[in-house]
Structure 1
């Protein structure tokens, strides 16, 4: 076998040698081009897979397949085109050279796939790799041409030879660039661009072959006989090679598409798994939010009820005792009102930690909202629940530093037990809540267990609430009772204190302390206060009609009603509606009501007083008022709480308190009323220490206006008598007392 490079000449053949005219079979040339384009298309497909797969070994397998596609396509194109060459003499091909050319094509294909699948490929690297691949293709081409065996001599024209080398390098460079450019995509436009790139690369490699063929000159001696001969099996061999190449190409494309689909499915599966993981996390987060309190991280009502239901089911079947403990922080609202809600939230966190630290590991602690907490405990006996409640109250006695202040909070606790106090979650929680309210009513900072009478009382109050609402809306059963207030200077009745009574159809006459608390709890107190104010003004009109136009009626005002923005306008509207002179009306508010809303009600009280209405503070001494606050209030009268008057003669401390209150009030230019005077001795005492007015059953108990008006007219016409006989001056000697309700 002669080496290709040794046959390159730069002149015409030697003397006596004739060049041979060669032609090509057009069908085989078209077939060769089609095989080359298909191989390029498959190579681009496979290179995309080799680039996109993540597994290293899978990438290597795709690189090998791509090398076989490219090498097989180039080699098949070359030999089909060589079979298309028609020469007027017998030809055959050397098997060794043919196999060697195929191996070189494989090396070139491997170089191409390695370059294509690199992470980065800059311009110098691209040119260097394209040169190596192009030289490999040219070497394969000319080695394959050297495998041609005939009687003719082979010579190569240098310029065409150089041009073929350049075309091979350029085609390789285009292959590298297009493969990297088209590594991502999948739509129709992307496939069209890949097809165009395959046609261009195939054309470049076919031109490389044709340029190499053009550079080949076959010559023969003049005495050599020429005859046209073409291998009979040339067409069949070309079709066979094309079929094998296309099968490899088609298999590669199919494998590439299938793998791409599988990878897309795998990616979709990963996305689904990721979404499922995210959904699981979201479900856990939602469950955390749905069943836990975000402030204290304790269970909320829903989470507590779920665990409570499971525990009840377990203990119902297996036996055992459970306790439900309701906790409410005493006077927590004051913290929010004085220090703000942020400070209140911080306090709740501290309280939650203390409650949790006082419980056992198996106990369930929850925050139901606001300052309400609930604990579910399993216990051998009821005393265990009491011990836990006492531990919690002991924990609460430890000072808490909040907003730079040291404070001690207390808690009221109500307890119900299973199975004694109920069988369902709702029943046990309701009974624990009733016990909690009993703790509050008993003075707070204590624990109470549920007893059946609490439920009876709650049902009774619920019925009273509905019946009170009906009585108010229908205007039936409600009536005002009046108790005289005597001026100690002249012994005359100067004021009447109004109190609301309710003539219940079944329970008889109910005093205010029996139903006003219910009215305050359900919001009826606002309407009740307005009803009392309107009826008192109507009674003032009736008193004026019978000649008692100097009497003043004092009306009690609820702490809940005090401070409402519409209060002044409502009072003014009632005065205008009834035509009452404002000076004949006095509003009484309790000491605790004033102290609890001191910053909000001062301006409102001033507006009411500017209308001409007198203001008095009721039950003075029973609260915790400050002299600094008291002197700021626009008051006219101070009423000493009856608890100091009842025990005055027996308690030196009460005597001193009464004296101090009288002295303080007079210093502030306020009038003093002594409530609850029931004996002549008490009357003498309060008169001795300078009280201005007295009120109590010594004179008369609260009565309807119809029973008092005649006696009041008689008092006006009677001559004055000594105060030592108050009953004779206030009402007739026959005493009339109000009927007692239950």
Structure 2
């Protein structure tokens, strides 16, 4: 029989020496603490890895995978949803599929609707190009923070793309009303290190239905709707339809008729007077393009994007320029002077074309029109599409002697930067600033500041979208000298505007004798839509 083993040498010393025993106990305790530290560190690393898998590192919001996972689990619990399979760890559904994911499923009430609201920044790429990527990151963080403040309750919000934020609406709230609220709050500028920056946003809504009953389809439908809103001019909300490829179908339907209309000159211009608020006299006109197809007006926000995607926008712009110069030549001959001016829009795609100034010069020469009679209206978006190319083109247009106007001032971001980058003759204030002008002191103070800025830069300032006499009275009191809008006249054919033009007898005077808009009937037309989608 083997005798039991005796104590080790260390244990024997501990029995014989109390100090040795205390040292060994202290060492053991340290080893236990170290093991605990290693365990805690491992758990923290695992938690951080899980967080990184579920969240956007820039904004701290849940990411696309986490949102899709939440949406999948919410649909599984929704009474009206018919999902193909429960959440599993598979290549089809994004991981993680656990109740500990970044977003948690809320209780779904019987009969409650379910929608996805997607917010897309319209101008983010241009802002990043102009201000740099660091400012772009700051802007995204600021947008995420504002969305968190705007959205009522604890609504699941996620960043699902570079400039897209998704919201799950499953409590019966109206997603469109919620989206409009978000878009309104997005109009206020963001304070960044580079200064005050404004960006527009568009929204798309997709609702749960027989043809949109899984997470990926709902999110894709919301994205398609948001892109449709951007194609229509941005800063608006669009609800998804059951046909996500509707833009493609619309293009196929309108592309050939639009091409024929452009080539044959069937796309016509309507002219809207811009009046002097000091005497209600006509100072110039804005030409707005309009097109009738199969007996009905097709809105510019519909056919202009089709023209852009079909490669027709350059031709359409040249056709509008040709019509403007033809009409100016006719008025010059009839009136015996060259004081009438007409403005026409220059889309972003054309403003970066280095050959555009040559076509403008040729058109002016062909019709013997003074360059100062032609007002070329450009938007902030046009300037930002390619800043260097746009600056080169506008510089050549200035050398020709044409008048350059910044249209829809205040609708985009970094407007003051644009006033430094390009030499302008006038700017047109976006129509939204006139909406509450007669009842909102804050709007009046803002417009007063814009007018002071225009005067200091030697620019003619035009207020757009004036609808009520009280708005016009406020503009006069603030010192605004020019305006346009339904209060004065709606766009119409050139032949209907002859009564507004300076009389031939005043041709020898420096500016002619203008007819007063305020003392005569307003111009009526069959269409109020224009070259720029209003």
User: Taking structure 2 as the reference length, what is the TM-score of the superposition?
Assistant: 0.57
The alpha carbon displacement at 1:490 in A equals 5.6
Provide the C-alpha distance between the structure 2 equivalents of 1:318 and 1:480, rounded to a whole number of angstroms.
56
**Residue aligning to 1:587:** 376
For residues 343 and 629 of structure 1, what CA distance do their matches in structure 2 show? 18
Is the Cα contact below 8 Å between 2:232 and 2:301 reproduced in 1? Answer: no
- How far off is 1:500 after superposition? 0.4
Relative distance call for 1:439 and 1:382 in structure 2 (3 A) is farther
| CA spacing shift, 1:655–1:561, aligned 2, 3 Å | same
Q: Within 5 Å, which residues of 2 pair with 1:419-498?
A: 420-421=210-211, 431=221, 433-437=223-227, 450-452=240-242, 455=244, 458=247, 461-463=250-252, 465-467=254-256, 469-488=258-277, 491-498=280-287
1:586, distance to aligned residue in structure 2 (A): 0.8
- Cα drift, residue 665 of structure 1: 0.8
> Counterpart of 1:729?
516
Cα distance, 1:717–1:677 mapped onto 2, change above 3 Å: farther
Q: Does 1:565 align with 2:357?
A: no
Instruction: Tell me: CA distance 1:717–1:457, structure 2 relative to 1, closer, same or farther (3 Å).
Output: farther
User: C-alpha deviations, 1:639-678, integer Å up to 9, x for none?
Assistant: 2222222321101111111211111111111122222333
For residues 638 and 445 of structure 1, the distance between their equivalents in structure 2, rounded to whole angstroms, comes to 21
Q: Which residue of 1 aligns with 2:477?
A: 688
Provide the residue aligned with 1:542 in structure 2. Answer: 330
Counterpart contact for 1:715–1:731, Cα < 8 Å: no
State whether residues 382 and 390 of structure 2, in contact with CA within 8 Å, keep that contact through their aligned partners in structure 1.
no
Residue 333 of structure 1 is matched in structure 2 by 125
Q: Is 1:645 matched with 2:437? A: no
The counterpart of 1:663, out of the listed 427, 446, 452, is 452
Task: Check the 8 A contact 1:496/1:554 in 2, yes or no.
Answer: yes
Q: Deviation of residue 693 (structure 1)?
A: 2.2
Q: Cα distance 1:631–1:438, how it changes in 2: closer, same or farther (>3 A)?
A: closer
With over 3 angstroms needed to count, the CA separation of the structure-2 counterparts of 1:682 and 1:603, relative to structure 1, is same
Q: Alpha carbons of 1:739 and 1:577: their partners in 2 closer, same or farther (altered >3 Å)?
A: same
Structure 1 residue 497, shift from structure 2 partner: 0.8
Q: Aligned ranges for residues 111-510 of structure 1 at < 5 Å?
A: 330=121, 331=123, 333-334=125-126, 337=129, 420-421=210-211, 431=221, 433-437=223-227, 450-452=240-242, 455=244, 458=247, 461-463=250-252, 465-467=254-256, 469-488=258-277, 491-506=280-295, 508-510=296-298
Give the whole-Å Cα distance in 1 for the aligned partners of 2:211 and 2:436: 42
Deviation at 1:577, TM superposition (A): 2.9
* Contact 2:501 2:514 (8 Å CA) reproduced: no
TM-aligned CA distance change 1:541 to 1:336, over 3 Å: same
In 2: Cα distance, 1:509 partner to 1:446 partner: 21
Partner of 1:531: 319
Compute the displacement of 1:554 (Å): 0.9
Q: Distance in 1 between matches of 2:118 and 2:293?
A: 35
One of 486, 493, 500 as aligned partner of 1:697: 486
In the TM superposition, residue 615 of structure 1 has moved relative to its aligned partner by: 0.8
Deviation at 1:533, TM superposition (A): 1.0
**Partner secondary structure for residue 649 of structure 1:** coil
Note the C-alpha offset of 1:573: 2.5
TM score, norm. by length of structure 1: 0.42
Question: C-alpha displacement at 1:535, in angstroms?
Answer: 1.0
Contact persistence 1:434–1:458 (CA under 8 A): no
Work out whether residues 698 and 727 of structure 1, in 8 Å CA contact, stay in contact via their aligned partners in 2. Answer: no
Structure 1 match to 2:409 = 620
- How much has 1:702 moved relative to structure 2? 0.8
Kindly tell me: are residues 332 and 487 of structure 1, through their superposed partners in 2, closer, same or farther at Cα, counting changes over 3 Å? Answer: closer
Aligned pair count reads 393
Are 1:602 and 2:394 counterparts?
no
Counterpart of 2:376 in 1: which secondary structure?
A: strand
| Residue equivalent to 2:304 | 516
For structure 1, list consecutive stretches of 5 or more residues without a partner in the other structure.
1-298, 300-314, 349-366, 375-380, 394-403, 720-725
CA contact (8 A) 1:617 1:638 kept: yes
- Alpha-carbon spacing, 1:463–1:628, altered in 2? closer, same or farther (3 Å): closer
Root-mean-square deviation (Å): 5.6
Residues 585-635 of structure 1: per-residue CA shift (max 9 Å, x gap): 111112343355444423321211111101111122333334354144211
> Once the 2 structures are TM-superposed, how far is the Cα of residue 327 of structure 1 from its aligned partner?
8.1
Tell me the secondary structure at the aligned position of residue 350 of structure 2: coil
Which deviations, in whole Å up to 9, do the C-alpha atoms of 1:305-344 show, x marking residues without a partner?
xxxxxxxxxx998799999999897455347735889999
- Residue 684 of structure 1: CA displacement? 3.1
Q: Give the CA deviation at 1:479.
A: 0.6
464-473 or 631-640, which deviates more? 464-473
Q: How far, CA to CA, are the matches of 1:449 and 1:511 in structure 2?
A: 18
> CA distance change for structure 1 residues 424 and 600 in 2, over 3 Å: closer, same or farther?
same
Residues 316 and 484 of structure 1: is their aligned pair in 2 closer, same or farther, counting only changes over 3 Å? closer
- Structure 2: segments with no counterpart, 5+ residues: 1-63, 65-81, 94-113, 141-159, 183-193, 508-512, 530-534
Deviation at 1:466, TM superposition (A): 1.3
Structure with larger Rg: 1
- Separation in 1, partners of 2:200, 2:459: 37
Give the structure with the larger helix fraction: 1
Say if 1:516 and 1:491 are closer, same or farther in 2 by CA, change over 3 A: same
